[in-house]
A and B are shown apart, each in its own frame.
Chain A
Amino acid sequence: MGPLQAARLFALRSVWSATGLRSAGRALVDALGSPDEGVRSVAGMFLVQGGKRAEPLIAEAIHRRQNLPTVAVIAGDIGAFRLEPELRRLTADADPEVAQAARDGLRILAAHQNPGSSQRG
């Protein structure tokens, strides 16, 4: 990922944060499928940093089966409890990567609910 690609992502994040413009948020979701690992990483970080604001975008991506292995984990990261039924459904997905990501998402959700369970020692 070069500075120009990074600048584009920062700009999308700024527009999405400042205006809530859905298309800017969708562009970040689209970027999760980039062949560039850096672009995927930064887009995912910006979505998670958006917190609950990202929830409708993540729900939409799940329904469209878009970038599911990443999106399912993001659902857990942002504490999207509303999406728990979808994640449960995805644990039985035929794609093992999707099923694993859904299990991870559920586990992270549970850790949000009960932080003590993830802190040992």
Chain B
Amino acid sequence: MRSGVPGAVQPLPDEDVRALGFPGLPAGTPRFRPEDLQQVSGTRFAAAPAAEPRPPELRAAGRRLLPVAQAFYRSASAETAAALLEVSLRHPHELVRVSAAASYFEVTTNPVRAIRALAHGVRSGDPLTRDVAAHALAHVDPGNPALVKLLASRTRRSTRKRSRTSLIVHGTWARTSAWWQPPNGDFWRYVHDTVDANLYGAQDRFEWSGGYSDAARALAGNDLSAWVQQHNLQGLDLFTHSHGGSVAMLATHAGTRVGRMVLLSCPVHWPQYTPASTLVGSVVSVRVHLDLVILADRGGQRFNDTRIRENVLPIWFDHFAAHDPDVWRQYDVPAML
């Protein structure tokens, strides 16, 4: 279901939806009862869908899936879309069931059945199914016991010895900006003197092009990883601003271990830019309300991932407030880290 709100983040860009051939649907979907959806789809299931569909359900769903999908493409509406999701909850492939469950929340009066499918999907042996299920479940039911195991394993990882060097990674177009540069940049000076005395300050500190493209960030992610190796660091803490956070995330996928990753006003482009969770101790995000630069970037304003701790400052619009020492002092940002 797409949002029709101007300026809202679109999880699915319109051009992608068009390329996939999905019919357009208006925003503001009504909710349906499962019994009504089964009537629309011409199915009648004896019980609510189990996490693992039973053979008779699989057969019934298999028979109805094609005609229900055809009905949706013939006459796209909230009702035919919801009916397709209802049947897909019993699809033979778990990835389809989990994907259907992730969207089912938006259309149903009874979300319990979808939560059950997602909780089961979190334990799937298939990484993609597991990831889709975990992200969707964390979004709708972050306290679900099925997620506890994932969170517990992360907690264990974060208990390893803290890395001793830290670094600031600037964002787009900021290579020559003064604020992050040692030894006199105001943010560098503040972090070094107040937050982390191990902040790197030698001449050969890391910097990148600040380009605004995936290619520029990919190069920078590799360069950061190489910088860490050249300095014989087993890992480090990172203070990043804007797409500097994307660069840091890419560096973790190139093998860089990060103790603490601080994301300041980082645009959310999930799953394109994600931290490699096994190599990162903790991730903290600090941002402002309705960041205008992120709006222009077409990124998301907040992470929907329980592994990333979000902190929203009581400031509106200003993308650069997050690296302002006065803001850090006024709102005690160090306590958020």
Contacts and interface: CB of A to CB of B under 8 A. Distances in A.
Interface of A: 1-3, 6, 9-10, 37-38, 40-42, 44-46, 48-49, 69-70, 73-74, 76-78, 97, 100-101, 104-105, 107-108, 111-112, 115, 118-121
B216 A73 contact: yes
Interface residues of B, number: 31
Interface in B228-286: 242, 253-255
Interface stretch (B59-67, B75-83, B317-325): B317-325
B297 A45 contact: yes
Contacts of B172: 41, 44-45
Given A6-B296, A46-B296, A100-B175, 15 more contacts: A6-B292, A10-B296, A37-B320, A38-B319, A40-B173, A41-B173, A73-B216, A97-B176, A104-B209, A104-B211, A107-B219, A108-B209, A112-B215, A120-B254, A121-B253
B157 to A, nearest CB: 19
A77 B317 contact: no
B218 A119 contact: yes
Given A3-B292, A9-B296, A118-B219, A37 B177 contact: yes
B213 A76 contact: yes
23 contacts: A3-B292, A38-B318, A38-B319, A40-B173, A42-B293, A44-B173, A45-B212, A45-B293, A45-B297, A70-B173, A73-B209, A73-B212, A73-B216, A74-B212, A76-B216, A101-B175, A104-B209, A108-B209, A108-B211, A108-B213, A111-B215, A120-B254, A121-B225
Given A38-B318, A41-B293, A46-B296, A73 B210 contact: yes
Interface in B169-192: 172-177
Interface string B286-307: 0000001101111000000000
Interface centre among B219, B254, B297, B317 (most CB of A within 10 A): B219
Nearest to A117: B219
B293 A38 contact: yes
Contacts of A45: 172, 212, 293, 296-297
A73 to B, nearest CB: 5
B209 A41 contact: no
* Chain A interface, >50% SS class: helix
B254 A121 contact: yes
Contacts of B319: 1, 38, 41
Contact of B211 (A6, A40, A73): A73
A107 B219 CA distance: 8
A118 B292 contact: no
Contacts of A9: 296
Interface string B82-104: 00000000000000000000000
Contacts of A3: 292, 317
A102 to B, nearest CB: 11
B222 interface: yes
Contacts of B255: 121
A1 B293 contact: yes
B294 to A, nearest CB: 10
Contacts of B253: 121
Nearest to B317: A3
| Top 8 A-B pairs, shortest CB-CB distance | A104-B209, A121-B254, A118-B218, A77-B213, A111-B215, A42-B296, A6-B292, A48-B212
B211 A77 contact: yes
A24 B213 CA distance: 22
Contacts of A69: 175-176
Nearest to B256: A121
